[in-house]
Amino acid sequence: MKLLPLHTLVLLSVLHHSGSHSDGDGRCVPLFVRVGGSTTIKCNITNSDQDGVYMYRRHDEKIREESVLYYYIDGTFTPEAPYRGRVETNKDFRDFSVSINNVSKHDGGVYWCRFNKQDLYSISERTCLLVQSGTIQIDKEEADCKLFIYWGVIGGLSVIILLLVVLLVKLCCDRGNYTPKQQQPSNGVYEVMRGNTAKALTNPAYESTQRRTHSDLS
């Protein structure tokens, strides 16, 4: 129940968003198509009593819109050079639509229609044509390539981890060998020295020898 206001807000904003497509503020209806595929762009307006229609396209905010085609009510259809042979219309102002065949990756952009009845213009809603690169075959190749890279990375990491483990084990073993080798002799020397000192200190014969030497000298 606490979530209801938020939900309503989201719904309202969505409704507002979709309700303001045709007011020319840059909002558009997204339309996805694959390279080489076909798509139909709808140019719906309320008043079907029109003389003709231009379709425009803008693919970059910085670049002026370009004309795609013009259709006049008498049946005259004049597509621009890049679209010639690739575009068709349904020639119906009640539900005007334009089909583009063999879509290229350069066809992406915002499309809209401007109808005219003498000097009166009506702008249709805008469609954002989003061209997805690659056919299914290319996608498969791409997927294979990705899989190859994936396994390559896994393999490479495994080798690195294996090398690290080997290195660690080797280091461990080396240290294990190193410790007794370096410490045992030093311990041994120490033990021997301590043993000698202790012997020297506790050996009365040694002491007497020393004393004798001293007394002999003096």
Ligand X SMILES: *[C@@H]1O[C@H](CO)[C@@H](O)[C@H](O)[C@H]1NC(C)=O
The span from the CA of 23 to the CA of 54, in Å, is: 17
User: What residues between 68 and 97 interact with ligand X by CB under 6 A?
Assistant: 95
User: What residues between 171 and 210 interact with ligand X by CB under 6 A?
Assistant: none
38 binds ligand X (CB under 6 A): no
Per-residue x/- marks for ligand X, 100-129, CB under 6 A? --x-x-------------------------
Strand intervals (E) in the chain: 29-34, 39-43, 52-58, 66-72, 77-79, 87-89, 96-100, 109-117, 120-123, 127-132
Per-residue x/- marks for ligand X, 43-72, CB under 6 A? -x-x--------------------------
20 binds ligand X (CB under 6 A): no
Tracing tokens 């938020």 back to the chain, one arrives at 6
Number of residues that bind ligand X (CB under 6 A): 5
Q: How far is CA 211 from the centre of its chain?
A: 91
- The residues that touch ligand X, with contacts defined as CB under 6 A, are 44, 46, 95, 102, 104
